[in-house]
Amino acid sequence: MKALLSKEPGGPDTLILEEVADPVAGKGQVVVAVKACAINYPDFLIIEDKYQFKPPRPFAPGGEIAGVIESVGEGVTDWAVGDRVIAVTGHGGLVERIAIESFRLFKLPDGRSFEEGAALLLTYATTIHALLDRGHLREGHNLLVLGAAGGVGLAAVELGKAFGARVIAAVSSEEKAAAAKAAGADETLVYGRAPFDKDQSKALAEQFKAALGPQGADVIYDPVGGDYAEPALRAIGWEGRYLVVGFPAGIPKLPLNLTLLKSCDVCGVFWGAFAARDPKANQAHVEHLFRLWAEGKIAPKVTETFLLADGGKAIAKMAARQVIGKVVVRV
């Protein structure tokens, strides 16, 4: 079978498409014929050895897949050959076939494409955990979403509206503002490109405050980091929750006096660890997502697809922060 492999640390241009042996389903595993693999920012980090997990090489990036079960291993009774499934793999998804533990699988709902299915779990499961478990988002809250036109950003906009919040979407271009508005954002604002000097940082904080109003942000969803973090924190409301989701703009250093003045919380969001530690709670979240999907309240936004041989180009586009919604590799 073909696999897009990382053999040495480096950028997307270092990935190599090669023939490798077909996987065999071990005990408790199934082999899935991969039909689609969604691309996420960790795919860029993991091939550069900058992610928190460093798999042994050679490995294929690609953290979430959709496909069809080709074979089942010993002890697997709840899945059958021909079942359409989706799964979060962490890595290894940019291949024609993958062996995966059966407990990682979820059924792809009838009528949904493989591309949509591949684009659902990482962004939406991360976000529902962030907003409900870490942010305690409730109806009537003010939700500020940074990077609101990316995969997790659009998921936060949609889920925020589904949970009854007023959503303010912050983005870096008018095109991205239109995408956030189409996803349901109540307000949008366009910020400049970092780095910011002191005056620019203060101006951005005022821009956030003006959009949020006197209540400030009850919850801030930040998958961006960098110089955008402190201005956003300055716009938080009393006892608000600042959700730390990711750092494509760099790891920020927050002035902790702001947390005292606002009596607010800075909350880390590590969905992968949450799902591993509390699989029943994660299962409940995924079932909630499927209901919202069926009701039309959320829908993965796949804006571009790539061939397996061009998977590196998809990762490069993600790394350059040029993606609106999700990009997916068709296998």
Alpha helices per DSSP H over 93-190: 114-118, 121-128, 151-162, 174-182
Residue with tokens 């076939």: 97
- pLDDT number for residue 27: 97
**The pLDDT value given to residue 328:** 98
Strands 97-101 and 29-39: antiparallel
Residue ranges of the chain with per-residue pLDDT less than 70: none
What is the pLDDT, as a whole number, of residue 250? 92
Domains of the chain and any CATH numbers? 2-120+300-330 (3.90.180.10), 122-272 (3.40.50.720)
In this structure, the number of other CB atoms found within 10 A of the CB of residue 75 comes to 10
- Inter-residue contact 18 to 59 (CB < 8 Å): no
What's the confidence (pLDDT) of residue 52?
A: 83
- Predicted pLDDT of residue 53: 85
pLDDT confidence of residue 51: 87
